[in-house]
Amino acid sequence: MSEKVWDPFVRVFHWTVAVLFFVAYATEDELMTVHVWAGYVVGALVAARILWGLVGTRHARFTDFIYRPSTVLAYLRDLLLFRARRYVGHSPAGGAMVVVLLIGLIVVVGTGVVLYGVHDGAGPLASWYGYGGRAFRRLMEGLHELSANIVMALVVAHVAGVLLASLVHRENLTWSMVTGRKRSGE
Ligand code: HEM
Ligand code: HEM
């Protein structure tokens, strides 16, 4: 028996953000238009995902996958010992990763928009051109680059966690993010 777990919005959101994150990460300077538009779409999708986390389908809601930190740590310990309980929606660690990734993406896109304004005089904050001088521009450059690299490191951990949980529970979580379906039960 299998059941519908990830609704179409969650799946389209996931794979679009995943692809565009890598596109934005890999483009700069001469491909700035591609970089900026990939980033805007990621930003808009993250905003929509936050709303969907409040009003969306059962397993898409934040209340379905936000657990106390002690539960997250206990789940991670059990996962490494290959004895973690199976969840049909996000596991406690998976849910914590969702929150951290969404916050990380907001910081990356936010600092990108500010940088684009003060540095290039372009984008929605074009009128901020030159604001804060060189020091502020350098700070935004540093934060944008650092946050992008932190999110990239989180993505590596995210994919490793997905593969480990798939192994422990003998299921293909990645394919479930394509079809939306998972095996029912514990
Ligand atoms: C390319 C390799 C990737 C694979 C195989 C992958 C796989 C998955 C899977 C299986 C889930 C569901 C986890 C669960 O069952 O609890 C998930 C969720 C998620 N992933 Fe990925 N992912 C990838 C890349 C990314 C990237 C690059 C990002 C963002 C920068 C990302 C962000 C997320 C988010 C935010 C969720 C939560 C989905 C939701 O509830 O809306 N993933 N991913
Ligand atoms: C998922 C979203 C994004 C990712 C992963 C990302 C990542 C990056 C990375 C890795 C760099 C290179 C940093 C360096 O080595 O100096 C960069 C540069 C930059 N990004 Fe983004 N970025 C994103 C979104 C945005 C957005 C939305 C904007 C503006 C609207 C933006 C504007 C810029 C600017 C102006 C630079 C400096 C380019 C240069 O002069 O070299 N980014 N970004």
What pLDDT does 29 receive?
79
Beta bridge partners of residue 2, listed in sequence order: 183
The residue nearest atom 39 of ligand 1, judged by CA position, is 10
Count of structural domains within the chain? 1
Closest CA to 96 of 68, 74, 60, 55: 68
User: To 10 degrees, what angle do helices 8-26 and 133-168 make?
Assistant: 130
- Per-residue pLDDT tens for 6-38? 999 999 999 999 999 999 999 987 899 999 999
| Distance (Å, whole) CA 81 – CA 156 | 20
> What residues does ligand 2 touch, defined as CB less than 6 Å away?
21, 24-25, 28-29, 35-36, 39-40, 42, 108-109, 112-113, 115-116, 119-120, 123, 144-145, 148
What pLDDT does 28 receive?
81
Ligand nearest to the CA of 38: 2
Q: pTM for the whole thing? A: 0.96
- Residue 170's CATH number: 1.20.950.20
* Ligand 1 centroid from CA 158, angstroms: 7
* Ligand 1 centroid from CA 128, angstroms: 34
- Could you tell me the residue range of the domain that residue 29 belongs to? 2-183
Average pLDDT over residues 45-52: 98
- Per-residue pLDDT tens for 123-161? 999 999 999 999 999 999 999 999 999 999 999 999 999
- Per-residue pLDDT tens for 96-113? 999 999 999 999 999 999
